[in-house]
Structure 1
Amino acid sequence: MKTLVLFLALTAIHFVTNAQDTKGISITVTVPNVSSSDGAVLFGLYDEATFMKAAPIKSTKGEIKNGVAKITFTNIPAGEYGISCVHDANSNERMDFEENGMPKESYGVSNNNMSYGPPMWSDAKFEVGNEDLELEIRF
C-alpha cells in the first residue's frame, strides 16, 4: 500500500512539473521607429537551423500605430533563437530589393547588430530561459 501511495504521489509530481515546463515563454518584440504607417511589420522567430535559410519557426504580422509595431510570440520552449523583422510597406508579404540587391524596405534583427551584408546568426541569437522576454528591434 505504501508503495502504491508513493508511486501515485511521484506520478502526480511528475505531471505537475512537466505541465509547467511545457507552458513555454512569451517573447514580446517592439519596433519603436517604423518610418510610416503604410503596410505592416513582418516578424519571424528562428532557430540556428532556419535563420536566413528556411521559413521561420513562428511568424506574425504587427500593425503599425504611431510609428510603433509590437507583437508577442507565445509558448516558446527554452533554447537559442533569433528574430528578424521587415517593414512591409507595400503589403506584398515579402522583403523587396533594389536591382543591385540592396533592401528597399527597412529591416532589423534581434540584438540590433546591423553590419553590411545579411544578418549573421552569431549576432542575432539570444537565449530563452524560464522568464518572459521583452525585446526592442530598431530599423
Structure 2
Amino acid sequence: MKKLLLIAVLCTSLFATAQTTTSEDEGVTITITIDKVRTNKGKVLFALHTEDTFMKAKPVQTVGSTIEGNKVKVTFTNVPKGAYAITCVHDENDNGRMDFEDNGMPKEDYGTSNNPLSYGPPQFEPSKFMVATTDISMKITL
C-alpha cells in the first residue's frame, strides 16, 4: 500500500512539474484590435513576422478575421520571446492577398504594429515590438 501511495504522489508531482514547464514554453498571447475598418466587406488578414521574415518570407503566424461593426479583434497565441512586427491588410475583395494599382500603389488598406507613418513599403524597425513574458494588447490603424 505504501508503494502504491508513493507512486501516486510521484506521478502527481511529475504531472504538476510538466504543466508548469509547458506553460512557460508556450509563450505569450498577442491581441490585436482595429476599431475603424472602412467597410465590413471581406476580411482583415494579419501576419506575425520576425526581422528575417518581414516582407520577405512566410510569416511566423497568420490569422484572419471577418469584420463586424467596422471592427476586428484577433489573437496570436504561443508567441516565444523575441522581436516581432505585425502586418495587416483589409482584403476587401476576399481574394487572400493585397491588390495593387498598375503604378504599384495598394488598392486595399493596410497597417503595421506601432502605426508608423511612412511613404513606401512597411519597414521592420518602426513596426517592431518586443515579446517577453506578459501578454500584449495593441491597436492597429489602417
Q: TM-score scaled to structure 1, two decimals?
A: 0.87
Separation in 1 of the partners of 2:118 and 2:138?
19
- How far the C-alpha of 1:108 sits from its partner, in A, is 0.1
1:8-23 matches, within 5 Å, as 18-23=21-26
- The residue aligned with 2:4 is none
- The residue aligned with 1:57 is 60
Structure 1 residue 136 corresponds to structure 2 residue 139: yes
1:69-80 matches, within 5 Å, as 69-80=72-83
Once superposed, which parts of structure 1, at least 4 consecutive aligned residues long, lie more than 3 Å away?
12-18
- How far the C-alpha of 1:39 sits from its partner, in A, is 0.2
Change (3 A) 1:16 1:69: closer
Structure 1 vs Structure 2 CA RMSD: 1.7
Identify unmatched segments of 5+ residues in structure 1: 1-7
- The residue aligned with 1:66 is 69
Q: In structure 2, the residue corresponding to 1:103 is in which secondary structure? A: coil
- How far the C-alpha of 1:53 sits from its partner, in A, is 0.6
The count of aligned residue pairs is 130
- The residue aligned with 2:120 is 117
18, 24, 28: which one pairs with 1:25?
A: 28
126, 130, 133: which one pairs with 2:129?
A: 126
- How far the C-alpha of 1:62 sits from its partner, in A, is 1.1
Identity of aligned residues (%): 47
Identify unmatched segments of 5+ residues in structure 2: 1-9
Separation in 2 of the partners of 1:56 and 1:116?
23
Q: Which amino acid aligns with 1:19?
A: T
Whichever of the two has the greater Rg, that structure is 2
